Chain A
Amino acid sequence: MPTMNMIQALNDAHKVVMRADEDVVVFGEDVGYFGGVFRVTEGLQKEFGKTRTFDAPISEGGIVATAVGMAAYGIKPLIEIQFADYIYPGYDQIVSEVAKMRYRTGGEWTMPMVIRTPYGGGIFGGQTHSQSPESLFTHIAGLKVVVPSTPYDAKGLLIAAVEDPDPVIFFEPKRIYNGPFDGHHDRPVTPWSKHPASDVPEGHYTVPLGKAVIVREGADLTVLAYGTMVHVALAAVIEQGLDAEVIDLRTLVPLDIETIEASVQKTGRCLVAMEAPRTSGFASELVTLVQERCFYHLEAPVERVTGWDTPYPHAYEWAYFPGPKRMKTALEKVMAD
């Protein structure tokens, strides 16, 4: 089985869906000839031609809007927003048009499109190359929101997203494009080739949307995470010798509530980890759901490990990023008494 990093896996997913379905069209800023600033769309224009993979003007609003029109025509747009931090000019089109089309037309017009965008911090990206705006999309009825954390999942989830009848916002944690990151920025980075999830099957396969995966089984507490934080959380519980169950949510909407409930009802404790700022973040939704549905099983308050409620700072990268220290404090708190 080929070994791939997340970029290669995503690139391969593009080839699989584009070979299978002539209606899939890829466009965005620098995705054509150049192959994307992160190389995710490399080689696509050469293989599929300029009418199926092309460069777009620097206009996120225009990219999403024309994708809406194409989807109305019958094309399946698989578009890229260069950084999640720049998705906001397209927000009106995503929220008012993409998300609501099926509903407002009684199902006559649908928007089967995927909006890919690199997101997350830990790369000294400063304010506008580090954001995690997933809660701005999980709050919008009509959108599905996906965040992969491994090359295997990245390919399988992207193929599933393209084949899904609903619009999908696909957040790619760019910190782990080349290798998993456990939050220890002072240690050398390990490449994906040393990780079992870099075994990526050739050809078509899917990882279903709406299904979480238990990446580590445990009995003492449940850790809910997605994206880069899956690896940070996993390292933290191992370092502290906790018998923790770590769940990678993979899809935030629709959420795999069954897996979460079963786990928390078993462990009685829960910690939620995300990079995004705390207030009104997706972690708040998770905490609420766990509290509502597992209250009589809980032995301690549900904890949140998150970014701070500030813009993402450049020089303070490691004081901002929710790394091992913040994880340790929160784990100790949730395990106390």
Chain B
Amino acid sequence: MSDKDPALRRNAPKLALHVPEPKFRPGDTPDFSGIVIAAAGEAPRPDTSAPAAETHPLATSLVRVLGDDHRAVGPWDPKLDADTLRKILSDMVTVRTFDDRMYRSQRQGKTSFYMKCTGEEAIATATAAAMSRDDMHFPTYRQQGLLVSRGYPLVDMMNQIYSNKGDRLKGRQLPIMYSDKAHGFFSISGNLGTQFPQAVGWAMGAAIKGDSRIAMGWIGDGATAEGDFHSAMTFAAVYNVPVILAVVNNQWAISSFSGIAGAERATFAQRAVGYGIASLRVDGNDALAVYGAVQWAAERARSNNGPALIEFFTYRAEGHSTSDDPSGYRPGDEAKAWPLGDPIERLKAHLFALGEWDEDRHAALAAEADTAVRAAQKEAEKIGILPQQGKDDIGSMFDDVYAEVPWHIAEQRDAALEESR
């Protein structure tokens, strides 16, 4: 009998391959009214020691604090004082200003590449506010807000972007692949997903040593399809690791919508429950919800109650990178139609509602951020921009491959220096 025996297959329906498609393509009018968005304050807040299974409803719902009236409501309200709220707002504004300036720098040919996080600013900045300064992050290339919030000098970020002599990574890394141990910001890799299980390993180290610090791993919606996502979840669950695993679901992986990563069938948060990991799905454009969720997960991890996954539901408002033109695959005005709005506008409105902010102060904040970014840019560009770099000190290209330069690399260094003469 053949495996295609006509007698057996006569009445069988033809199989069909399903290839997910986003609802809207260029030229379409985006309409997100079909997305179910829980009302602010609606999601319950379980105890931080609750079993993972108890969080299942939270993995399909949406933790939200800021309501349509810009007031904070419900059990996830972290009840932050006005200074903390203003600090988060200020960090977000700085990040957006920084992104805009560096994007322009790339367009002016001062560097080769840049990636903005427009629309996602609340996630990293509110997270940084909710965690301890000495906790370790394993970020992707879109969590620059962590560095800004933790006070990493803007000029150092720019030096890295320009690969100039002030670049602590010595011109070896693509722009924005920052690394700084002192600011708890692990070296960014171009290889997607690799940092997710590494965060688990760091937290395992902390647990082995009886430390009280925790780690947080970051990944995008697209990269959850990598095998490293699965190994991170498995190891985190097996060893009950004090780690927070963050999936930033911004709906897009370059040109692929989240359905290509599996979002048509289940939320990313739901995946965690299957591993026995507590899971939350959170409005990523609501700084208070971000803060509240991270605070919950951090307390859980610190009390040895194990890992948690947080899916931050957001929208990548701009192109994937300076090398990307989103008008080739999605409607130009899709970001404006996004129902969760803009994180900066929402927190600003909240502070207005509290009577802790006004237009004048906001204008002053924006001007201050602009001044700080421009000053840093001026300083960094004085040190150098990419087109001027990579000509002297070619020998340094051969350092740090190993602790000591072995003979074969030393010979190649001599050849490179000879060649450049």
Contacts and interface: CB of A to CB of B under 8 A. Distances in A.
B200 A66 contact: yes
A109 B408 contact: no
Interface string B161-191: 0000000111011000101110000110111
Contacts of A61: 197, 227-228, 231
Contacts of A62: 197, 228, 231-232, 234-235
Given A57-B235, A105-B179, A108-B168, A66 B201 contact: yes
Contact of B170 (A25, A106, A254): A106
Contacts of B230: 59
A58 B209 CA distance: 24
Contacts of B187: 101, 104-105, 108-109
B201 A69 contact: yes
Interface string A93-104: 100110011111
A250 B401 CA distance: 21
A298 interface: no
B138 interface: yes
B194 A93 contact: yes
Given A61-B197, A61-B228, A66-B200, A103 B206 contact: no
A316 interface: no
A91 to B, nearest CB: 11
Interface residues of A, number: 46
B403 A25 contact: no
16 contacts: A52-B208, A59-B230, A61-B231, A65-B231, A66-B204, A69-B197, A69-B199, A69-B200, A70-B208, A72-B205, A104-B189, A105-B179, A108-B187, A141-B401, A253-B406, A257-B408
Nearest to A102: B400
Task: Report, nearest first, the 4 A-B pairs whose CB atoms are least far apart.
Answer: A69-B201, A62-B231, A73-B205, A66-B201
A89 B227 CA distance: 9
Contact of B197 (A66, A75, A104): A66
B256 interface: no
B148 interface: no
Interface of B: 136, 138, 168-170, 172-173, 177, 179-181, 186-187, 189-191, 194, 196-209, 215, 227-228, 230-232, 234-235, 238, 399-403, 406-409
Contacts of A67: 201
B406 to A, nearest CB: 4
A109 B202 CA distance: 13
Contacts of A142: 401-402
A141 B402 CA distance: 8
Contacts of A97: 189, 191, 194, 198
Contacts of B401: 102-103, 141-142
Contacts of B191: 92, 96-97
A69 B170 CA distance: 23
Contacts of B402: 102, 142, 144, 166, 254
Contacts of B231: 57, 59, 61-62, 65-66
A56 B172 CA distance: 34
A69 B198 contact: yes
Given A102-B402, A141-B401, A69 B204 contact: yes
Interface in A221-272: 253-255, 257
A69 B138 contact: yes
Contacts of B207: 51
